[in-house]
Structure 1
Amino acid sequence: MKPFLPKRLEPYAFGLLLSGMMSFLVSGMSTALAAGVHANFPQLWLSAWLPSWAIAFPSVLIVAPFVRRVLSRIVRSN
């Protein structure tokens, strides 16, 4: 695939993909533990994942700068 996003959008694309993948995995595990895996599981999982992603994406964008600042104080450069 040929790159198509401008560099200035990279942090937003990163946040979108990271929050999507993480919320997908966590909501799937939580749904499986709470409701079990059965025929209706994919629909139940999707109904849990989409609202989770809607909260996870802006959260990642807000929290990421704070995490970068904390890491800049605790990670040593060699």
Structure 2
Amino acid sequence: MHNLPKFHPKHMTWLMPLILSGIMSGSISCFNMLLNKGLIDGFLGLWLHAWSMSWMMAFPLILIVLPLVRKLLMQFVQMPPESSAK
């Protein structure tokens, strides 16, 4: 594991939303399927299909919405003054 190539920090702008949207869409689609259908035959296949459709929607949505939410929140968050360390 020590010799794995690493991404450049600039890729965090799409890697973080990619992983986050995958985890969130997978968790929520699984939870909703369990609530609505229960553990039926073929659950895994149905869930993977629902997850892939959800992830296809969630990832671009996060890429678009995240900067807008960040901009909105900056109006309500007081940032600490930048230090003048020399």
Q: What's the TM-score, normalizing by structure 1?
A: 0.89
Deviations 1:33-72 (A, max 9, x none): 1111134211111110001101100000000000101111
Note the 1:1-78 alignment, pairs <5 A. 1=1, 4-77=6-79
Separation in 2, partners of 1:70, 1:37:
41
Which residue identity lines up with residue 45 of structure 1 in the other structure? Answer: W
Look up the SS of the partner of 1:38 in the other structure: coil
Aligned-pair identity in percent equals: 38
Q: CA deviation at 1:3?
A: 6.0
Structure 1 unpaired stretches of 5+:
none
The unaligned stretches of length 5 or more in structure 2 are 81-86
Aligned to 2:83: none
| Over 3 Å off, 4+ runs | none
